[in-house]
Structure 1
């Protein structure tokens, strides 16, 4: 009993440290460079008449920003502040933790090129469809006010003229954001530590012998509340593969865990209302389940 409690506390400290360091570092970096990014031009391009290209840009942005789900939040807030179209923002939210080029290379090594290509295409398409659907259903109204005070254009101009001033503003904005999400990060890390250290691992071995048509959605459900970076999950996935665990539920577990980790969901509560949080979780579960079924249909 005490061994489990000790492991939970150690995992909580480790997760909290990693999440905070990652979140602070990425938040500060984004706050600093955003003054030099021509968001006005990007906004015009993303808001153009061609809705498909605008949505595609969100998927591509997620592909070239190798963040885990939790570290996606700072850039997500910046995009909302800059009035980037909602469907582009949501598509980015789905693709950013799932389409890391380095992870895709590792996946190709573990599972082969065909599996990796199918995973990449499926994730791209599902993310764009979900972003488009949430936008059409007007879920933008469930985003909380997280706007930075003041005139962003004038503030950016002043920050571009002085690196020292930009550093001061970036530090202030980073500290302000950290204060608003610190409790969410710690709560999520604590719950994640409990799940990781207290949930029996024999359960995965049990479900591997069951009918995969119900195992796939079950794996997606298990994956959603976990804090699982794909870089962490890949060695586990390789071990499962060696033991004969099917690819279909493994992919559902991967997408569910990396696409909507518990700490991320808790942090998103600071910028999303409950209906959008629910839609986000449902969307990740749907993406994970359908992707798993896709591999099942293709006899992987």
Structure 2
């Protein structure tokens, strides 16, 4: 993909000055969609080849190079870290690139037009589903909120989007699938969408539009953002730019999350997490939610921790409630939303969303 990025970068940059083009620029100008596609296929083949070798490579580095004793706490933690770090980052790059190409067909202006004027119940469902395929995080809450409100999107519909976008995004789903299997990923998708739709619908029924900050309600929709009519090369470049932008911002959180997961995997005794985050402790779900609220990370950073907690015997419902609170109910996100929502609406938002997360935790612990 690096070769493809360099070729596309060359093609997208006009030649400086009025002089003749350099040989490299002339070769880049002849890059065809077929050539770009072949480079993409080669990059994907290399991705899969590397991915298949991660487990034996991690074992070789842990036991062969580092000389750690197999079965020791340190060896288990090191092998977990050496295996999961490249695994998660490779998954992250692949899914962000793919979704970036898809996003080149779908701008924020088109999203606002799609949601504006819908019946509220249908709008809640559509907004939550839209949040899944748009990788916006809590730092995007203020401009998105303003854009949707000024486009006439109802408050409850907007909040359904803002809940689903960070919590049930494509990164979380692909990483859950890669680490824990399709059943856990599907369960998380269904419950996350359900919480986002229900929370937005309930808040919409409360008619709290007057609890949006006055300066936001007084805004008027400006000019529409123009849709980009990109060719195939432009869309590939858009995907590569998404990788550079998104992965560049979150990789540190990913590594920190994996390091924490490695420590849990290697040093936390078997059964310990089952005692404090198991089904038998009724207080485990609300305690996990309260622990998650002060934390600040994203789906990519929290999933390795989720993987390690489950591996140590923690109950699935409790762990999912913890994950949802970290991603969708974190204190930093509430600070950001305070710029556009008044305190009473913030409190209602926390209460409704928190009740939905608790319900998910207890429900999964009861049936699984």
TM-score, L = length of structure 1: 0.65
Alpha-carbon distance change, 111 to 295 in structure 1, aligned in 2, over 3 angstroms = farther
Structure 2 match to 1:182:
none
Structure 2 match to 1:72:
141
Kept in 2: contact 1:248–1:293 (CA 8 A): yes
Q: Does 1:257 align with 2:326?
A: yes
Structure 1 match to 2:292:
223
Alpha-carbon distance change, 130 to 209 in structure 1, aligned in 2, over 3 angstroms = closer
Whole-angstrom CA distance in 1 between matches of 2:320 and 2:155: 27
Q: SS of the residue aligned with 2:135?
A: coil
Kept in 1: contact 2:278–2:315 (CA 8 A): no
Alignment of 1:1-300 (within 5 A): 37=110, 39=112, 41-42=113-114, 46-48=116-118, 50-147=119-216, 152-153=221-222, 156=223, 205=273, 207-208=276-277, 211-299=280-368
Instruction: Measure how far apart 1:233 and its partner are.
Output: 0.5
Whole-angstrom CA distance in 2 between matches of 1:135 and 1:148: 16
Instruction: Measure how far apart 1:61 and its partner are.
Output: 1.8
Kept in 2: contact 1:98–1:123 (CA 8 A): yes
- Mean Cα deviation higher: 97-106 or 73-82: 73-82
Instruction: Measure how far apart 1:145 and its partner are.
Output: 2.4
Whole-angstrom CA distance in 2 between matches of 1:241 and 1:82: 43
User: How big is each residue's C-alpha offset from its partner over 1:244-290, in whole Å with a ceiling of 9 and x where there is no partner?
Assistant: 22222111100011012211111111111111111111123212211
User: How big is each residue's C-alpha offset from its partner over 1:36-94, in whole Å with a ceiling of 9 and x where there is no partner?
Assistant: 5484x435xx424x433222221122111112223333212211222211121011111
Kept in 2: contact 1:86–1:135 (CA 8 A): yes
Alpha-carbon distance change, 81 to 249 in structure 1, aligned in 2, over 3 angstroms = same
Whole-angstrom CA distance in 2 between matches of 1:149 and 1:133: 24
Whole-angstrom CA distance in 2 between matches of 1:247 and 1:107: 13
Larger Rg: 2
Kept in 2: contact 1:212–1:249 (CA 8 A): no
The CA RMSD measured in Å over matched residues stands at 2.8
User: How big is each residue's C-alpha offset from its partner over 1:106-152, in whole Å with a ceiling of 9 and x where there is no partner?
Assistant: 11222221222122111112211111111111122210024498864
> What are structure 2's unaligned runs of at least 5 residues?
1-106, 227-259, 261-266
Kept in 2: contact 1:66–1:99 (CA 8 A): no
Kept in 2: contact 1:229–1:258 (CA 8 A): yes
Structure 2 match to 1:25:
none
The size of the alignment, in residue pairs, is 219
> What are structure 1's unaligned runs of at least 5 residues?
1-32, 161-195
Q: SS of the residue aligned with 1:96?
A: helix
Alpha-carbon distance change, 214 to 80 in structure 1, aligned in 2, over 3 angstroms = same
Whole-angstrom CA distance in 1 between matches of 2:200 and 2:323: 20
Kept in 1: contact 2:195–2:353 (CA 8 A): no
Alpha-carbon distance change, 63 to 152 in structure 1, aligned in 2, over 3 angstroms = same
Whole-angstrom CA distance in 1 between matches of 2:213 and 2:292: 27
